[in-house]
């Protein structure tokens, strides 16, 4: 499993816009580079990233070879209810990794 | 008269330019970076170097070698035992009768105490251990060079720093003492304080050691870079760390 740093606020007010950050260690090999033997290094990038909030997809992205190694993905969502935020991604080797975090949403809505 | 005065002014400017940045005007490479790159280093959940620090923490706790011992078995909690250690490297090694870098110190423990095969220079594992150990000193001022046994080696490092080299015939000092703050192509020339190493360099899209960084500068002036682990690298690092004394360590630094 790739080393990751996931940052989801532990608590939020109902209706609050929260920022979710994911830093994923991955070579993001473009498929355009050659190795020391002159042969093409096969492409290996994360090509799909998605986030679900209590099972419902709230963000997704298709990734392409121009994206740096160890990609850092941030986005926002609206905190509606307490529950689980799950981030998952799939690379060209077919590896899928999922990381989850709990969020507790207070009763008081944001004014 | 006018001619005299202006040539004197030129001489003064030249002197100010070639003098080592004074104590009050020493700046980390961090200060020359754009706000986005600074923000990336400052936030531990955005700093890609932290991935390596976390790998290092795992390695610290994993038994290795014929001795089947982990770093933690002997050194315990790194937050206490390794606090401040990186601020004193390179330091004098009694056996070698010469200074050794933090990486070399870690490799010594790996060979002698863990009886494990050596880790290659620039291997992710060595960078991770080094980043993890140095990270325990983040925010602490550099103290390298206090030991009087180091004096001849510091002098040797200064020599290397000021000697011209390569097809372009530049010394390190020509750029980092005389022209810091100016631009070389798209990059700002920093003062060359090695306070963030190992760093995550965006151009490399990876972690790298100070030696890798210095080899880039040597290749830049079309000089033959010193080999990894060579005494020249240790002496240059020793000189640079002594020159940076008092500046806080930043590991893991992010650099463009």
pLDDT in tens, A2-13: 899 999 999 999
State how far residue B32 is from chain A, nearest Cα, in angstroms: 22
Inter-chain touch A72–B48, beta carbons under 8 Å: yes
User: What is the pLDDT confidence band of residue A18, given thresholds at 50, 70 and 90?
Assistant: very high
pLDDT of residue B238: 98
**pLDDT interval class at B137 (50, 70, 90):** very high
Cβ contacts of residue B3 below 8 Å, gap of 6+? none
Task: Give the mean pLDDT of B87-107.
Answer: 97
| B100 counts as catalytic | no
How does B170-189 read in b/e, with b if 16+ C-beta sit within 10 Å? Answer: bbbbbbbbbebeeeeeeeeb
Q: CATH assignment of B51-135, given 1.10.10.10, 1.20.1250.20, 1.10.760.10, 3.90.700.10?
A: 1.10.760.10
Binding-site annotation, residues of B: 71, 74-75, 109, 172, 175-176, 213, 217
Query: How many whole angstroms separate alpha carbon B198 and alpha carbon B254?
Result: 9
Q: What is the pLDDT of residue B11?
A: 40
Q: Largest alpha-carbon pair distance within chain B? A: 78
Chain B residues within 8 A (CB-CB) of chain A?
Answer: 40, 44-46, 48, 50-51, 54-55, 202, 205-206
B6: pLDDT strictly greater than 60: no
How many cross-chain Cβ pairs, A to B, lie less than 8 Å apart? Answer: 31
| In CATH, B2-43+146-255 is 1.10.760.10 | yes
Binding site for substrate, residues of B? 213
Q: What is the ipTM of this complex?
A: 0.88
Start-to-end CA distance of chain B, whole Å, equals 47
pLDDT in the model for residue A111: 66
Q: How far is A66 from chain B (nearest CA, A)?
A: 12
Mean pLDDT value across residues B76-104 = 98
Q: How confident is the model at residue A1 (pLDDT cuts 50, 70, 90)?
A: confident
pTM of the predicted model over 0.95: no
Residues 6+ apart with CB under 8 A from A24: A2, A4, A46, A70, A71, A72, A73, A89
Are A5 and B50 inside 8 Å of each other by CB?
yes
Among B126, B135, B140, smallest CA distance to B87 is for B140
Euclidean distance between the first and the last CA atom of chain A, given in angstroms as a whole number: 41
Q: Across the interface, do B205 and A3 touch by the CB < 8 Å criterion?
A: no
Cβ B46–A3 below 8 Å, yes or no?
no
Q: Which of residues 51-110 of A touch B (CB under 8 A)?
A: 68-70, 72
Taking 50 as the threshold, does the pLDDT of residue A39 lie above it? yes
| Confidence band, pLDDT 50/70/90 cuts, at residue B23 | low
Q: Domain coordinates of chain B in residue numbers?
A: 2-43+146-255, 51-135
Distance to chain A for B110, nearest Cα, Å: 24
Whose CA is closest to A65, among A85, A91, A39?
Answer: A91
Cα A84 to Cα A102: distance, rounded to the nearest angstrom: 5
Confidence of residue A107 (pLDDT cuts 50, 70, 90): confident
pLDDT for B133 equals: 98
Q: B45, A5: Cβ pair inside 8 Å?
A: yes
In angstroms, the CA B50 to CA B252 distance is 7
**Cβ proximity of B217 and B172 under 8 Å:** yes
Q: Say if residue B179's pLDDT is above 90.
A: yes
CB A85 within 8 A of CB A52: yes
The confidence band for B8, taking pLDDT boundaries of 50, 70 and 90, is very low
Instruction: Give the architecture-level CATH label for domain A3-28+44-106.
Output: Sandwich (2.60)
Does residue B100 register a pLDDT over 70? yes
- Identify the active-site residue in B21, B51, B54, B217: B217
Give the closest-approach CA distance of B192 to chain A in angstroms. 26
Q: How confident is the model at residue B13 (pLDDT cuts 50, 70, 90)?
A: very low
Contact of B84 with B140, CB cutoff 8 Å: yes
């Amino acid at each position: 499993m790739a080393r990751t740093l996931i940052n989801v606020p532990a608590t939020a007010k109902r209706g609050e816009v929260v920022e979710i950050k994911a830093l994923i260690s991955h070579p993001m090999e473009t498929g355009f580079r050659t190795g020391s033997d002159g042969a093409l290094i096969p492409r290996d990038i994360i090509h799909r990233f998605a986030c679900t909030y209590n099972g419902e997809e709230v963000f997704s992205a298709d990734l392409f070879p121009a994206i740096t190694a160890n990609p850092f993905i941030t986005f926002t969502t609206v905190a509606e209810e307490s529950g689980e935020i799950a981030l998952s991604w799939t690379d060209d080797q077919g590896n899928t990794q999922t990381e989850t975090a709990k969020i507790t949403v207070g009763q008081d809505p944001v004014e | 008269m006018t001619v005299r005065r202006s040539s004197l002014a030129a001489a003064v400017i030249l002197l100010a330019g070639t003098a080592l940045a004074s104590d009050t005007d020493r700046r980390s490479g961090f200060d020359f970076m754009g706000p986005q790159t600074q923000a990336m280093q400052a936030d531990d959940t955005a700093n890609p170097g932290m991935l390596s620090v976390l790998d290092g923490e795992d390695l610290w706790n994993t038994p290795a070698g014929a001795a089947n011992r982990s770093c933690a078995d002997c050194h315990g909690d790194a937050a206490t035992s390794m606090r401040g250690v990186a601020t004193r490297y390179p330091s004098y090694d009694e056996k070698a009768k010469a200074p050794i870098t933090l990486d070399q110190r870690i490799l010594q423990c790996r060979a002698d105490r863990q009886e494990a095969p050596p880790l290659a220079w620039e291997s992710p594992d060595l960078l991770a251990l080094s980043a993890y150990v140095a990270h325990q000193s983040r925010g602490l001022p550099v103290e390298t060079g206090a030991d009087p046994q180091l004096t001849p080696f510091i002098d040797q490092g200064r020599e290397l720093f000021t000697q011209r080299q390569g097809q372009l015939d530049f010394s390190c000092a020509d750029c980092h003492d005389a022209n810091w703050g100016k631009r070389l192509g798209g990059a700002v020339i920093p003062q060359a304080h090695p306070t963030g190493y190992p760093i995550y360099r965006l151009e490399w899209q990876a972690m790298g050691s100070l030696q890798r960084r210095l080899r880039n500068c040597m290749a830049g002036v079309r000089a033959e870079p010193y080999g990894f682990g060579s005494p020249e690298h240790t002496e240059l690092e020793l000189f640079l760390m002594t020159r940076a004394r008092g500046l806080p360590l930043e590991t893991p630094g992010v650099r463009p």
